[in-house]
Chain A
Amino acid sequence: MAIVGDLQQWVEDALSAISSANDLDQLKSARIAHTGDKAPIALASRALGTLPAEERATMGKIIGQARASVADAIAERTRVLEAERDSKVLLEEIVDITLPAQRGYRGALHPITILKNEISDFFIAQGYGIAEGPELEAEWLNFDALNIPADHPARAMQDTLFVEPLDARLVLRTHTSPVQIRTMLENEPPIYVICPGRTFRADELDATHSPVFHQVEALVVDCGITMAHLKGTLDLFARKMFGGEVTTRLRPSFFPFTEPSAEVDVFFNGRWIEWGGGGMVNPRVLKACGVDTEKFSGFAFGMGLERTLMVRHGITDMHDIVEGDIRFTRAFGVGL
């Protein structure tokens, strides 16, 4: 069994060479030298076929064990040497990982967009749809259908921007309420929608006013809708906007499109803040839209998004919201 002795010698030589390899290159050389084509193990393997059948099994087992012990040693030595290399060589590749990594600039959504999304998601969760309509709107939808006849003082309450020619009767909508009218003209109750959007009034830009601003309005028309539902919905909405601690207050007021009408105040940061208006949809408005007032009633409310934003985030100057200064907008990120 000279082969067996050779194999033992080979295993010893190989293990010795492996353990004395000081780096991965030496280990690679040792591996090639001791496991290559001319290595005793390869010769033994090739010779296996020439052996008688009864010896072949025994010999095969011996060769396999020898091969395995060398392979195990190589694997173990590789692990050790790689760890050594990592601790030395990779450390030499050190970089200043704190260098600024951002090569581009930070983008952001406008806080009005963020707020609009937040409100939309809230009302979708309450079962509402999001209704939209044109900003350049038919005067009839913006005023008449809302029970604001041509000579009513309420029409003078809002300074309206008209486009030429005047007989086309187009206005830049003064509120998002025409979307409510469109919704009722196009759909049968039950109706649960909010209408967020951009609105226009001929106010000069100052710290609290902008001629271009945003509103969100809600409209519900269903069987048995009461002012209690208006109040409950406003309470929930106010808590979503300003936190769980806020309380709301309704004050009697006047809007041509609601009866009874209410001003909506929120008690926030220690004082009452005028937030919006609302009420029960005036039956004249429902009738103008063909809603059966015997069967259905509804509530509507609306508030300014800029105002909500200013109150909630402590913004003191409307200019910041409308001017598009990237420093202002970036502070809001994407609203997360």
Chain B
Amino acid sequence: MRAPLSWIREYAAVPESVTADEIGNALVRVGFEVEEIEYHGADLAGPLVVGAVLAIEEITEFKKPIRWVELDCGESTPRSVICGATNFMLGDLVVVALPGAILAGGFAISQRETYGRTSDGMICSSRELGLSDEHAGILVLPPKCASPGADALALLEIDDVVFDIAINPDRGYALSLRGIAREVAAAFDVEYSDPVHAIDLTAFAASKGGVSVKIDDPTGASVIYIRTLENFNPRAQSPLWIRRRIEKCGMRPISLAVDVTNYVMLELGQPLHAFDASQINGGLHIRRAGSTASFTTLDGQVRTLDPQDLLVADEKGPLALAGTMGGENSEVSASTTSLAIEAARFAPTAIARNARRHKLSTEASKRFERGVDPSLAQYASARAAALLIEFAGAAHLATEHDGEPRYSPTVDFDPTFAATLTGADISNATVAEKLRIIGCDIEEKSANLWRVDPPSWRSDLQGPTDLVEEVARMIGYDAIPSLLPPRPVSPGLTDSQQRRRVVAQLLADRGLVEVQTYPFLSDATMQVMGYRGERAQAFRLANPMSEDAPLLRTHLIPGLIEAAQRNMSRGARDFSLFEMGSVFRKNTPLPAIDNPAIDTRPTQEIIDAIYAGVPAQPIHVGGLLVGRAEREGWHGRGRVYDWSDAVALAEAVLMTCNLEWTIARSDFAPWHPGRCAELLVGGRAVAHAGELHPRVVAEYGLPPRSCAFVVNLSALPAREIVRASALGTMPVAVQDIALIVDASVPAADVAAALRSGAGELLESLELFDRYDQIGEGKVSLAFTLTFRAPDRTLTGAEVSVARESAVEAARLAVGAVLRSV
């Protein structure tokens, strides 16, 4: 909402000594965010005078039409200037900048030679005067609005300050000068004159004979007034002051009928609509669209109607999308001589839906959505009628109305609640004073029970806390002390939070840089990755940010690749990234949910259903390893990341969580099918690691053999209390075994077989060598087995038995043969 200071001062008796900055700060203090304070006319300097056009000579020898214009500027002799605009006639009043004047943007005017003449000033456009962006032609003033030579700066009220104020959705009343001025008056505790009080209703009593109106659907509107005017002069122009105020508020003057409805809306906050009464067939009805299929609004758009759209219609069909936009069929035109002025209190929900369904947010709908003072329909329509009578010679034919204003109920209020909720020391007297300032009536039923009647324009004041906010903002939030609440005992981080924190720290310590990527993917990416199963079940956004990325990620690798590509494009070669975050998979049925009302806590059954409708979103941690793990340097060649680095990092995550795992070969996408490890905890796959699929690597331009890992942190077993075991102190017996197996046999299977065969005496087992040069598709795997008994020194015989049992187990499981030395 843009509010000119000159207009604010008309209603709020703010002393002249108060500066615009001080008013801006006061507005902020009472809850109105001032986005900008504009100083109009600050860059203009006179002499700027009104000139009457005495003679026009068209000069045609140049590329564009040029006029040599003789002007009466109230001086002893006429003044002649060159003008490039042609939108004025003999006798018109225009604004003339005389030599010495400075126009918007620091443009200095002087006498100058141009087009072969001496131009002794300049005729100004609205833009050159800083009035608006209008620059298609020069500004033509309304006839007889001033005498030649009059000071145009004063006439146009150019010097002014305009506040651009952000209005919160609960304060519809402040989308008007009436509302803004009320706040300013309250903030400075000065007298306020409500413009509504100046409106005389006596000439506009309800009477039959004009356009009739009926609210067919009372859920759409509570009250409506239609004032019918005749003898309207369609050629009548808006007076300068109305045009100027509309311009300062950021709207464009259009025609008298439109300007008056806009002016009254800005003044009071009540949107109005003017119909050409001759285009109305029968009476008006406020009704839902129902089966009415379509309708053309005055912006020329054909609107396909929803059955629930609220309309203003006549016997034949829709005339307006109620509270949103009028129709082309009943628009006031250059031949209109009778008007029907509509002022209604439409239901905020109905108008919000109208506007949303048709993506049509208008000055009117913005106000109706936020709730318009129900008492205004009667007054604002009278105000508009009076202005049209005054400026267009119109006459009031009749006023018909339907419905009654519905006001918010009173609020029972314990005045001490203001102090209880704010923690500030506020007396009952102060509470009463502040509530009255904002327009409440108070009936003191008892010391602790007041019946507070909010003013008609404050439909947002529905409960005690709403009243406390009013009191608090009027005393100022600065008056509230700063205290700490009681300090309870913190539960600290949960095990899961602790784990995530330590895992992130671990990976950072291992040289990985954390990224946080957008979780949006394209269908093409899903294809390239080769996801199957639940990772192919992505949620699709109904309204994606970009059509290129309408899916929610089911896996972390694509985001990591994108971040890697960005780093590579900026010159990075050797690096590793990790990300920790949720993935989304549409792997459970999604029941349709009906959102319950919130008057009370919904039943547990309903809450359970709402919870159950939200899919599980496991937290993964993934890493991408690109280029070298170790630098090339004085110590030798750099070491390039390989699949084992990725596996080691996935294992490190599990190790950090104090878990045991087994490892198996996997062909999980998007990894290389021969170089992907699956890590299982308790038999459940929780991680994958290895080299990325060459196709993926090539597709995204990653260095060959880039590696990656992903661990599903949500799949890891919960932390368990470690049970300490007795430490054996007896000597160990160490045995080395070399086994020959088929190259296709996983070492993990050989190790598992050895472990199972070696029995309880085995303390640890380690692979210390792998030799693949023995041919025939065989490899040699050499293990160190360490044996220990808790209570005795093992004999050679015992160790031999265990060792042979281990080898036999490996022979049975994987066909291993002891390698002869």
| Those of B584-637 within 8 Å (CB) of chain A | 584, 590-593, 595-596, 598-602, 607, 610-611, 613-615, 617, 629-631, 633-635
Q: Taking CB as reference atom, which chain A residue is nearest B465?
A: A259
Contacts of B567 in A (CB 8 A): 324-326
Check B595 against A140 for contact (C-beta < 8 Å).
yes
B549-578: CB near A (< 8 Å → 1, else 0) gives: 000100000000001001100101011110
Contact partner, B424, options A150, A220, A227, A334, Cβ 8 Å: A227
Check B490 against A125 for contact (C-beta < 8 Å).
yes
Check A329 against B539 for contact (C-beta < 8 Å).
no
Contacts of A231 in B (CB 8 A): 423, 480-483
**A288 touching B422 in the complex, CB below 8 Å, given contacts A113-B514, A228-B483, A231-B483:** no
Check A229 against B483 for contact (C-beta < 8 Å).
yes
Contacts of B596 in A (CB 8 A): 140, 144
In the complex, whether B29 has a CB less than 8 A from a CB of chain A is yes
Check A162 against B30 for contact (C-beta < 8 Å).
no
Contact partner, B576, options A105, A141, A254, Cβ 8 Å: A105
A165 to B515, CA, bound (A): 30
In the complex, whether A273 has a CB less than 8 A from a CB of chain B is no
A21 to B416, CA, bound (A): 100
A212 to B601, CA, bound (A): 31
In the complex, whether B527 has a CB less than 8 A from a CB of chain A is no
Q: In the assembled complex, how far is the CB of residue A139 from the closest CB belonging to chain B, in whole angstroms? A: 6
Contacts of A327 in B (CB 8 A): 570, 572
In the complex, whether A16 has a CB less than 8 A from a CB of chain B is no
Contacts of A161 in B (CB 8 A): 541-545
A257-291: CB near B (< 8 Å → 1, else 0) gives: 00111110000000000000000101111011110
Check A198 against B581 for contact (C-beta < 8 Å).
yes
A144 to B610, CA, bound (A): 12
Check B352 against A138 for contact (C-beta < 8 Å).
no
Contacts of B469 in A (CB 8 A): 252, 259-261
A197-218: CB near B (< 8 Å → 1, else 0) gives: 0100010100000011000000
In the complex, whether A145 has a CB less than 8 A from a CB of chain B is yes
Contacts of B485 in A (CB 8 A): 192, 220, 222, 225, 229, 232-233
Contact partner, A326, options B29, B577, B630, Cβ 8 Å: B577
In the complex, whether B349 has a CB less than 8 A from a CB of chain A is yes
A322 to B424, CA, bound (A): 42
Contact partner, A235, options B482, B540, B593, B633, Cβ 8 Å: B482
Contacts of A130 in B (CB 8 A): 493-494, 497
Contact partner, B484, options A112, A113, A233, Cβ 8 Å: A233
In the complex, whether B116 has a CB less than 8 A from a CB of chain A is no
Q: In the assembled complex, how far is the CB of residue A315 from the closest CB belonging to chain B, in whole angstroms? A: 14
Q: In the assembled complex, how far is the CB of residue A166 from the closest CB belonging to chain B, in whole angstroms? A: 6
A139 to B613, CA, bound (A): 10
Binds B, one of A22-30, A49-57, A72-80, A151-159: A151-159
Check B598 against A144 for contact (C-beta < 8 Å).
yes
In the complex, whether B513 has a CB less than 8 A from a CB of chain A is yes
In the complex, whether B7 has a CB less than 8 A from a CB of chain A is no
Check B545 against A202 for contact (C-beta < 8 Å).
yes
In the complex, whether B518 has a CB less than 8 A from a CB of chain A is yes
In the complex, whether A110 has a CB less than 8 A from a CB of chain B is yes
A125 to B615, CA, bound (A): 33
| Those of B419-442 within 8 Å (CB) of chain A | 420-424
A226 to B582, CA, bound (A): 36
Kindly state the interface size class of chain A when it binds its partner.
35 or more
A101-145: CB near B (< 8 Å → 1, else 0) gives: 011111111101100010010011111111010111111110011
Contacts of A104 in B (CB 8 A): 510-511, 629-631
Q: Taking CB as reference atom, which chain B residue is nearest A137?
A: B614
In the complex, whether A250 has a CB less than 8 A from a CB of chain B is yes
Which secondary structure dominates where chain A touches chain B?
A: mixed
**A109 touching B576 in the complex, CB below 8 Å, given contacts A138-B593, A170-B613, A228-B482:** no
Check B490 against A162 for contact (C-beta < 8 Å).
no
A141 to B595, CA, bound (A): 9
Check B493 against A120 for contact (C-beta < 8 Å).
yes
Check B491 against A251 for contact (C-beta < 8 Å).
no
Check B515 against A329 for contact (C-beta < 8 Å).
yes
Q: In the assembled complex, how far is the CB of residue A76 from the closest CB belonging to chain B, in whole angstroms? A: 38
In the complex, whether B772 has a CB less than 8 A from a CB of chain A is no
Contacts of A139 in B (CB 8 A): 593, 595
A139 to B598, CA, bound (A): 13
Q: In the assembled complex, how far is the CB of residue B732 from the closest CB belonging to chain A, in whole angstroms? A: 33
Contacts of B482 in A (CB 8 A): 228, 231-232, 235
Q: In the assembled complex, how far is the CB of residue A213 from the closest CB belonging to chain B, in whole angstroms? A: 10
Q: Taking CB as reference atom, which chain A residue is nearest B351?
A: A151
Q: In the assembled complex, how far is the CB of residue A9 from the closest CB belonging to chain B, in whole angstroms? A: 48
Check B601 against A288 for contact (C-beta < 8 Å).
yes
Q: In the assembled complex, how far is the CB of residue B489 from the closest CB belonging to chain A, in whole angstroms? A: 6
A109 to B423, CA, bound (A): 41
Q: Taking CB as reference atom, which chain B residue is nearest A274?
A: B33
In the complex, whether B356 has a CB less than 8 A from a CB of chain A is yes
Q: Which 4 A-B pairs have the closest CB atoms?
A: A228-B423, A252-B31, A226-B423, A290-B601
A-B contact pairs, 15 of them (CB 8 A): A103-B630, A105-B574, A107-B513, A124-B493, A136-B615, A138-B611, A151-B353, A164-B541, A168-B590, A211-B518, A228-B424, A250-B478, A323-B566, A324-B577, A326-B577
Interface residues of A (CB under 8 A from B): 99-100, 102-110, 112-113, 117, 120, 123-130, 132, 134-141, 144-145, 147, 150-154, 156-157, 161-170, 172, 185, 190, 192, 198, 202, 204, 211-212, 220, 222, 225-229, 231-233, 235-236, 249-254, 259-263, 280, 282-285, 287-290, 297, 322-327, 329-330, 334
Given contacts A109-B504, A228-B483, 11 further A-B contacts (CB under 8 A): A127-B488, A132-B497, A157-B169, A161-B542, A185-B601, A222-B486, A225-B485, A227-B477, A324-B517, A327-B572, A334-B508
